[in-house]
Structure 1
Amino acid sequence: MNKRIAQFLVERHKLVLLVFVMITAVLGYQALNFKIDASADTLLTKGNKLYLQTQVMNERFSPQEFLLIAYKPKNHDVISERTFDDIGSLSKQLSQIKRVDSVRSILNVPLLSLADGGLSADNATQKWTIEQNDFPADELKQLFKDHPIYEDLVINQPQTATALQVLFKPNTKLKKIDSEITALQEQALNGELSEQDQRQLEQLQAEAEPLARELTRQRNSEIAHIRELIKPFEADAELYLGGAHVLGYQLINIIKSDLTIFGGAIAAMICLVLFVVFGKIRWVAIPVVCCVSSVVCTVGLFGLLGLKATVISSNFIALQLILTLAIVVHLIVQYREYSNANPDWEQKQLIIETFARKVQPCFYAGITTSIGFASLVFTDIQPVISFGWMMIIAMALSIAVSLLLFPSILALLKRETAGKKSRWASKLLTANANWIQKHPRWPVVASLVVLMFGGSGLFFLSVENSFINYFRDSTKVHQELSFIDQEFGGSTPLQLIYTLPEQSGDTDLEFTARDIQTMQLMQTALENHKGVGDTLSVVNFTELAQQINDGKPLTEYELNAVYWSMDERLKNDLLGSYFNADERQVRISTRIQDTTEGLNRADLLAGIRADMEKLEIPEDRYLLTDLFVLYQNILDKLFRSQILALGIVYVLLLLAFWVLFRSFKIALIGITPNVLTTVAVLGFMGWMAIPLDLMTITIASIAMGIAVDDTIHYIHRYREELAEGDGAHALERSHLSVGCALLYTTTIITLGFLLLVFSDFVPSVQFGLLTSLAMVIALLTDLTLLPVLLKRFIKSA
């Protein structure tokens, strides 16, 4: 059957190539629709309860989308005419951006402590500002010192920098659709979604998708424009951008940059090493064509299916290059082996025999590698699950493209004259084969040492996630995120929603003294935790009222009287996002400072919950939501799901080996290098304090996918040698045949991917290092431990 397929491919090679050109062209056009979405939302599991609770609370309190611009003067004071002129000029330019609703700055925030009438003053929002009055600098410095609202919002604590909040208008149509989607998803969680509701949900999601895509494009354009606007001010001040969408913009830019720069560098390195190893242009051109075609087809198919690359899946192209290259190198080595051994064979026969011999192990390797990547599907984390499916699709296309294109392209070329094997490879593999046959115990001992090293390292694996640490300290984005995180109250939002007790009697007060006291205790407990930054709530409003009242606290009746008599715009400004009268809920909003040394996010949340218990706040009266909780929820699942997923995949791989080779003994031997490689890589991460996060969770699956590919090819060749009755030399012959392909593949890919250590994106650096480490460990185990076990326990095919 295999030979008939190969014969068809050789005899109809021009037709096959024409079909491939057409398919690649069509999918290449579809690749234009492929998107990289690096926004924070792409990392969230959108069907879970926490996500929907966050969506509901965001809708209920309607916090406005904003972007932060920090301004730190170089040679003048923050509170000075020079700063005010710069802030005023920049604010005016920012206000002209179409989607900008307003720009909040030190110039236009209401200074109610100076207003006649305080909180109840008419038009306090417009009148009592720096823009409208000439306040003395000393008076302003004193006013902003320890201000309950403005400190860490428009001016930092040491008063060395100020910040502009650029507030954006919402897309009303998208907001309305998202609100309807959230309501339906809430019903789905409660099991109340009918078929009609499900159809409506799918229709709404389809309507929202292009609107969200356009909004993302618009945001990126706005950020790029804002960067241009702030450039003229950088001569006299340091300016820093912050906010969730700025982070997404930076991630997209750096990922695209890495794909361009390092993608090109890796491709050049791979081509160079291919030429050094094989010594002929054809063995560079054919792998390149196969790799390019498989990647273009895959990207086009993802574009057609609407699949997006997130931060997690941004390395899928690099992984597909590994998978495709490995298959093609195995085919090249087999072709050259037949060419050297059979000088009388014609090109057609060489291609057919090569295809017939390698199609089965390549197919087996594809199945087992896909099972390796299937570990991601069992993680219960939607973005990671999507990456798993993407890699399974990519693996299928790599096999199809390589096995169909390689013989078709080769059929266009003349037969290769007998080529010499690489001397360094032959000597190294021969020496290795002789050594493990003379000292079979040493590979076993070394493997046990590696297993102990890796296993002990597992205990040091930590589960953490910090976007700031995704970038090198020397990069502009790291400096921006760190500055705003440290000087303006943190990066990752966390909100505590508290439902006020029902009012007793006929009182119509919005807040009772007990309500205020409870909220003050809750906020104080929250602020006392390490890593908690700027915190705002109704409590800050009461502190401001006390400050205006000469330091005397207001009674509950006075507070409510002030609330009712406040200017409506001022009321919305100060309280709109922190109190919902209809639901009788208050929102305590804070930002976690990600640069806090030794910050343990799981302990922080546990501590907050413990504080609520001490304050006797019932669990059904408070809710922790927003990005910090959502990310931590994902991280909490990571370790458990990774162990569970690896356990499931080990079992599936064992069954796959058993079915493919029809021997449980071979299955146990075959699974050993895979277990050793994954444990060694995860253990290395533990010892080197590389945390298990949304990025590094994929490394174990990558290590398994690489190891299982090499293992399949070696076992298949070893059994072939046994079937030919050459048991005495099966190990040496397997080493000098398939061993060459393993050595070449590992050398090519390791040298190429080590270039990623020069990236400014830390996950790319870790990906390059850990992938290279996985390649080397897989090679060593497959050329030492695996042949020793096979020779010891497998005596016949």
Structure 2
Amino acid sequence: MNWGSSWVKSFKGEFLCNKKILSITIPIILIIWSLFFIFVDLTPEVGQDFFFSKDSEIYKENKEVARKFPFDGNQILLGLPDKDITSEKYINRIKRISDALSGYKGIKRVVSMTHGPSDPEDVLDHPLWKRLVAANSKDVTFISIYLEDQNNSKTIKQIEDIINEYEKVNIPIKIAGIPYFREQMKRNLKRDMSTFLKIAIILCSIVILIVNRSFFLMILSVIVSLTAAACSLLVLSFLDQPVGILTANLMVIAYVLTQSHFIFYSSNFQNLKSTKKALIKTLPASFWSMATTLLGFAGLIFVEAKPLVQLGIGGTVATLSAFLICYLLLPSLLNFQKTKNKNNMNKFIEENSSLGNKKIWGSSFVILYVGATLILGLGGLSRLNTDPSLLSYFKKESEIYKQLSFLNDHGGSNILRVVLKRKNGKPLDDEKSYKELWNLQEKLKSHDKVGTVISLPVLLKEADTHWLGQFLTWNWILELLSTDMLGNIGKGFVSEDHSQTVLLLKMIESKDESKKRLTIIDELEKVVDTSSFKWLTSAGPYYLQGRLAESVKMSLITGVSLIVGIFFFVVFWISKSFLLSACISLCLSSIVIMTFGLMGVTGVPLDLISSPGISITLGITIDGFIHLIRAVKEEGGVDKIEAWKEGLNSQMTGLLTSSFTIIVGFSAFIFSSFLPSQRFGGIILLGALLSLPLVLCVIPTLYPISRLSGFSRT
């Protein structure tokens, strides 16, 4: 049964292969690029709410805490170390910087030892200010800069200019804060978008040129693949989908997906000497590959994590664009390519290997290598870190790592908010509740991941240092702290009915990656359970990042399971063999285990940005498997060894060229200074290297043997 050919013929294959269609396809290319340059904004958006979609329960819970206990977390911290932070010279320096920052547009207010405390020299003697400004340290103070809105790029650049001016005279200033971290992510992603797309184009083009010895095919591959990538972002722009932290690399993803279609089609064209015959042979396999990859991406649309939802939408659009653009443009354009008897890859295959001789593809050594790698991967899977710290996003020798690390070691760099109430239900407005909460605060502060704790007792103790505070009751002080006169500071720490309170913990990001954030939060909750207070809920960036890491982990499990499950039915539909479907599904699962297991063994963490690499790896592997099974089916069926030999020989050029193109294309990410981009490319490279022996050796060798041995009947 020549599956798939009939529906290709009915799909006007002759029309697509006719040169006359160029009068349609060339204007399509020009229109796509014109609209791309007009409507597409390539600047990544990394907003304050990039963790979860607005419909998710986690987002709503966090927003509810922010509504009930207002807190301005959109702030940047500047740390100014000095041996004597009480000297007049140091205080004057803080005042000059604080005054300059206060005059910048985009900054709401500045809090420092000269902008807040009544007497800068007594900062270390005040319960609130020594935590807020000095973080209980005697060799550094901090300037807190509260920003007006989410688009802070210009303001952050102005702050960096001040830092650079002081560094010129050997006065170091450290900078941190979630807005600054988001800005650094945005800059790195934007730089990687342009740089690595260019590198990928160059490297992929070199492979195409070496294999096919054709400048025309090389140029054609660039035009078709780039047009598909541009079309992807254009469609997303029309859907009002901005470039996010995961879709920043979508142009490279779409480019490589299109390259895969291009390579298999052009390879079959070279073998069959006909665009129509190549279309009939290639299109069905490309369609099933596209459908499987598309459904894998589509499954991400329904998760809670906002970046993964964006990737799901973007990946779905990119997969469709790669397929449609390639098969709309390529059949007619290939008519201008002169066919050759053999390309360089054909010659390499004939001279060095064949399935029958078992020099490479049937080698038992390769099968043993895959088995050993799988065992190693199983051992390292449990050691994979899926909740890396913010520090792991940057190289240790980079300036931003040093900046974040310094502030992380001096009072913590990430905020966790904890909502509590008394177990007896009584309000928090007497001296007993104050003492109980103070004792709890000190217990929490003793945890090695807690840098600084700011709470209601700290505010009350600060108020008590004023002569007037000594004559007021706790209840009166709480009411005063919640008025406009005192900046409503009390509202951020106590509810209107005084029944609930918030602890603000500045958490220390783990450098040893020993514990997950949610595990640390559970440990803190157990501390609270031993007191007279009850832990109600958590909020803040630290908590959201922990939940995001958990969401990414669960999304990977469900996403990979969905892809493997869909592919099982696709292979069964094509081959009508349950055993082959099960074997290939196990191969896909083993790629995931080997990739993540090796990452666990080597200590490479899996972060939000690099996690989609495995989905792309599986999509590429599926593409190779489907083209191979399609060819084997045409040569006589999956139960015949000779059919596997002929199928491999006919598809070997496409399989090897596609793999080499993917490897060199994504190798560009290895040179990124942004570690998540490095890991993203590394996952795809590792997955491609691991999948190649599975496609070329393990299944073609073991499956026919198992059929002949009667294993399938058993």
Q: TM-score over 0.5 for the alignment? A: yes
Residue 366 of structure 1 corresponds to: 290
Give, in whole Å, the separation in 1 of the partners of 2:90 and 2:77.
14
Q: Deviations over 1:477-535 (max 9, x none)?
A: 22222222222x2222111122458997xxxx971122212312332232122211121
Q: Report deviation, 1:414.
A: 5.1
CA contact (8 A) 1:532 1:593 kept: yes
- The unaligned stretches of length 5 or more in structure 1 are 111-127, 131-139, 170-214, 340-349
CA contact (8 A) 2:9 2:280 kept: yes
- Structure 1 residues 513-552: aligned runs within 5 Å: 513-544=431-462
Q: Report deviation, 1:749.
A: 2.0
Give, in whole Å, the separation in 2 of the partners of 1:661 and 1:3.
21
From 445, 450, 453, the equivalent of 2:373 is 450
Q: Report deviation, 1:152.
A: 4.7
Give, in whole Å, the separation in 2 of the partners of 1:49 and 1:159.
42
From 477, 496, 507, the equivalent of 1:581 is 496
3-state SS of 2:333 partner: helix
In structure 1, give the amino acid aligned to 2:417: Q
The alpha-carbon distance between structure 1 residues 410 and 495, as it changes in their structure 2 partners (threshold 3 A), is same
Residue 241 of structure 2 corresponds to: 307
Residue 679 of structure 2 corresponds to: 766
In structure 2, give the amino acid aligned to 1:792: I
The alpha-carbon distance between structure 1 residues 603 and 315, as it changes in their structure 2 partners (threshold 3 A), is same
Residue 276 of structure 2 corresponds to: 352
TM-score, with structure 2 as normaliser: 0.89
CA contact (8 A) 1:425 1:743 kept: no
Residue 614 of structure 1 corresponds to: 530
- Which piece of structure 1 moves more, 712-721 or 564-573? 564-573
Residue 229 of structure 1 corresponds to: 162
Residue 392 of structure 1 corresponds to: 316
CA contact (8 A) 1:436 1:788 kept: no
- Which piece of structure 1 moves more, 784-793 or 319-328? 784-793
- Structure 1 residues 699-714: aligned runs within 5 Å: 699-714=613-628
CA contact (8 A) 1:677 1:707 kept: no
- Which piece of structure 1 moves more, 320-329 or 670-679? 670-679
CA contact (8 A) 1:513 1:555 kept: no
In structure 2, give the amino acid aligned to 1:18: I
CA contact (8 A) 1:638 1:692 kept: no
* Structure 2 residue 685 is matched with structure 1 residue 685: no
* Structure 2 residue 703 is matched with structure 1 residue 781: no
Give, in whole Å, the separation in 2 of the partners of 1:430 and 1:440.
11
Give, in whole Å, the separation in 2 of the partners of 1:503 and 1:686.
46
In structure 1, give the amino acid aligned to 2:419: I
From 33, 37, 47, the equivalent of 2:45 is 37
3-state SS of 2:223 partner: helix
* Structure 2 residue 8 is matched with structure 1 residue 2: yes
3-state SS of 1:697 partner: coil
CA contact (8 A) 1:372 1:702 kept: no
Give, in whole Å, the separation in 1 of the partners of 2:326 and 2:231.
12
The alpha-carbon distance between structure 1 residues 719 and 15, as it changes in their structure 2 partners (threshold 3 A), is same
Give, in whole Å, the separation in 2 of the partners of 1:726 and 1:566.
80
Q: Report deviation, 1:470.
A: 0.6
From 3, 7, 26, the equivalent of 1:18 is 26
Q: Report deviation, 1:282.
A: 0.9
3-state SS of 2:75 partner: strand
Give, in whole Å, the separation in 2 of the partners of 1:248 and 1:611.
32
* Structure 2 residue 109 is matched with structure 1 residue 83: no
Give, in whole Å, the separation in 1 of the partners of 2:381 and 2:425.
53
Residue 230 of structure 2 corresponds to: 296
* Structure 2 residue 549 is matched with structure 1 residue 672: no
Give, in whole Å, the separation in 1 of the partners of 2:667 and 2:101.
43
Q: Report deviation, 1:790.
A: 4.4
Give, in whole Å, the separation in 2 of the partners of 1:391 and 1:565.
53
Q: Report deviation, 1:689.
A: 2.5
Q: Report deviation, 1:605.
A: 1.2
The alpha-carbon distance between structure 1 residues 510 and 461, as it changes in their structure 2 partners (threshold 3 A), is closer
Residue 133 of structure 1 corresponds to: none
Max Rg structure: 1
3-state SS of 1:16 partner: helix
Q: Report deviation, 1:602.
A: 2.7
- Which piece of structure 1 moves more, 422-431 or 598-607? 422-431
Q: Report deviation, 1:692.
A: 3.7
- Which piece of structure 1 moves more, 646-655 or 354-363? 646-655
3-state SS of 1:580 partner: coil
CA contact (8 A) 1:223 1:246 kept: yes
The alpha-carbon distance between structure 1 residues 726 and 151, as it changes in their structure 2 partners (threshold 3 A), is closer
Q: Report deviation, 1:624.
A: 1.8
- Which piece of structure 1 moves more, 462-471 or 63-72? 63-72
The alpha-carbon distance between structure 1 residues 230 and 636, as it changes in their structure 2 partners (threshold 3 A), is closer
Residue 153 of structure 1 corresponds to: 132
Give, in whole Å, the separation in 1 of the partners of 2:123 and 2:509.
25
Aligned residues: 697
CA contact (8 A) 1:718 1:734 kept: yes
Q: Report deviation, 1:637.
A: 3.8
- Structure 1 residues 373-388: aligned runs within 5 Å: 373-374=297-298, 376-377=300-301, 379-388=303-312
Give, in whole Å, the separation in 2 of the partners of 1:70 and 1:700.
38
Give, in whole Å, the separation in 2 of the partners of 1:533 and 1:73.
17
Q: Deviations over 1:563-603 (max 9, x none)?
A: 67789677437635323334543221111111454344232
Q: Deviations over 1:176-211 (max 9, x none)?
A: xxxxxxxxxxxxxxxxxxxxxxxxxxxxxxxxxxxx
In structure 2, give the amino acid aligned to 1:485: N
3-state SS of 1:435 partner: coil
Q: Deviations over 1:690-711 (max 9, x none)?
A: 3344234323322221211111
From 64, 75, 78, the equivalent of 1:56 is 64
In structure 2, give the amino acid aligned to 1:782: V
Give, in whole Å, the separation in 2 of the partners of 1:555 and 1:460.
55
- Structure 1 residues 232-311: aligned runs within 5 Å: 232-234=165-167, 235-311=169-245
Q: Deviations over 1:636-664 (max 9, x none)?
A: 34444433443343222211221233332
Give aligned-pair identity as a percent. 19
Q: Deviations over 1:726-748 (max 9, x none)?
A: 96643343333311111112112
Q: Report deviation, 1:423.
A: 6.6
Q: Report deviation, 1:88.
A: 2.4
Q: Report deviation, 1:455.
A: 2.4
CA contact (8 A) 1:33 1:304 kept: no
Give, in whole Å, the separation in 2 of the partners of 1:438 and 1:54.
54
The alpha-carbon distance between structure 1 residues 649 and 684, as it changes in their structure 2 partners (threshold 3 A), is same
Residue 652 of structure 1 corresponds to: 566
Give, in whole Å, the separation in 1 of the partners of 2:218 and 2:86.
64
Residue 643 of structure 1 corresponds to: 557
Give, in whole Å, the separation in 1 of the partners of 2:471 and 2:364.
81
* Structure 2 residue 675 is matched with structure 1 residue 741: no
Q: Report deviation, 1:750.
A: 1.0
3-state SS of 1:164 partner: strand
- Structure 1 residues 624-635: aligned runs within 5 Å: 624-635=538-549
3-state SS of 1:534 partner: strand
The alpha-carbon distance between structure 1 residues 439 and 360, as it changes in their structure 2 partners (threshold 3 A), is closer
Give, in whole Å, the separation in 1 of the partners of 2:537 and 2:639.
70
Give, in whole Å, the separation in 2 of the partners of 1:736 and 1:80.
79
Q: Report deviation, 1:66.
A: 4.5
CA contact (8 A) 1:3 1:355 kept: no
- Which piece of structure 1 moves more, 710-719 or 624-633? 624-633
Give, in whole Å, the separation in 2 of the partners of 1:713 and 1:50.
42
CA contact (8 A) 2:69 2:494 kept: yes
- Which piece of structure 1 moves more, 537-546 or 523-532? 537-546
CA contact (8 A) 2:295 2:563 kept: yes
In structure 2, give the amino acid aligned to 1:151: K
CA contact (8 A) 2:422 2:533 kept: no
